[in-house]
């Protein structure tokens, strides 16, 4: 099974520099559909699904490998090497911001810069650290996932309407959110929300852009500022937007902030 097939890698655009987009928890690469096209002139844009999400190869899901974010970071490095990408700008949403950070620490020579969209190095509160959640609340979340996967199947996956701003696309994409194996989804949730990568922040050696929404219950402003404080060469931009997915709810702001940075 080729790496590109395993991670459902899709390449567009043109350019010497590569932009690698990584989706976060609960989504797949389709969440970049309002942002990635804006960079197709000037960059080779690469989108992929983490193993276990979207249309990745579910058979490749190894519970042990993917029990830490490091396993996902290894996949990122593999994709970059497989495509022989140079000077990669890694754009990671939510937990993928940390996955990208880990990948850049493993192989700094492959990366040019990091864009972190709504990142958090740790979600559960700790002494002197406000992650935003208690351990009990995270456990209840995992139960909610079970409730919501009851009875779902790939056959019921609804269709995504084509982007109204780009009618020439015209196709209906099958929504692969629902098609994910519920057990894998649960595992990924566990790994995400129980992660702690605070100690890794200071090891990031490349320029980093941090984008945070005004109101985001999952990655609050305070957390974004924490990341900014601990990453040496970082820039913090507060977006006038609410929610956890500004790449979907405020794509223009995200594009603008990224254009100024890269």
Task: Return residues touching other proteins (CB under 8 A).
Answer: 24-27, 30-31, 33, 94, 133, 137-138, 140-141, 143-148, 150-151, 158-161, 164-165, 175, 177, 215-218, 242-245, 248-249
The C-alpha atoms of residue 224 and residue 244 are separated, in whole angstroms, by 12
**Annotation marks residue 216 as catalytic:** yes
- Beta-carbon neighbour count of residue 135 at 10 Å? 12
Active-site residue, selected from the candidate residues 56, 94, 96, 234: 94
CB of 113 to other proteins, least distance (A): 25
Let me know: does 93 contact 117? Beta carbons within 8 Å. yes
CB of 64 to other proteins, least distance (A): 18
E-state strands within 6-130: 10-22, 41-48, 88-93, 111-117
Distance from the first to the final alpha carbon of the chain? 34
Active-site residue, selected from the candidate residues 216, 219, 228, 234: 216
Which two structure tokens, joined as six digits, stand for 257? 């902030």
**Annotation marks residue 67 as catalytic:** no
- Beta-carbon neighbour count of residue 215 at 10 Å? 11
Nearer to other proteins, 6 or 244 (CB): 244
**Annotation marks residue 202 as catalytic:** no
Nearer to other proteins, 83 or 97 (CB): 97
Nearer to other proteins, 113 or 180 (CB): 180
List residues with catalytic annotation.
94, 216, 244
């Amino acid at each position: 099974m080729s790496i590109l097939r395993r991670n459902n890698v899709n390449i567009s655009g043109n350019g010497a520099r590569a932009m690698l987009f990584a989706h976060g928890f609960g989504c797949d690469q389709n969440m970049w559909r309002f942002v990635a096209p804006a960079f197709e002139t000037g960059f080779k844009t690469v989108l992929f699904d983490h193993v276990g999400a979207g249309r990745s190869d579910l058979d490749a899901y190894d519970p042990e490998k993917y029990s830490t974010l490091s396993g996902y970071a290894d996949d990122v490095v593999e994709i970059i090497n497989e495509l022989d990408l140079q000077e990669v700008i890694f754009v990671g949403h939510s937990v993928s911001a940390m996955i990208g950070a880990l990948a850049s620490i493993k192989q700094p020579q492959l990366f040019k810069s990091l864009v972190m969209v709504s990142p958090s190095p740790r979600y559960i509160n700790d002494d002197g650290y406000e992650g935003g959640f208690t351990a009990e609340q995270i456990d209840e979340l995992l139960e909610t996932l079970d409730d919501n996967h009851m009875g779902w199947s790939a056959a019921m996956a609804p269709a995504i309407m084509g982007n109204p701003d780009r009618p020439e696309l015209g196709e209906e994409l099958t929504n692969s959110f629902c098609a994910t194996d519920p057990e894998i989804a649960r595992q990924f949730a566990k790994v995400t929300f129980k992660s702690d990568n605070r100690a890794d922040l200071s090891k990031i050696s490349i320029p980093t852009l941090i984008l945070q929404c005004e109101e985001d219950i999952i990655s609050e402003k305070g957390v974004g500022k924490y990341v900014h404080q601990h990453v040496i060469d970082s820039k913090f931009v507060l977006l006038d937007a609410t929610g956890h997915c500004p790449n979907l709810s405020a794509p223009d702001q995200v594009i603008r902030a990224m254009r100024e940075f890269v």
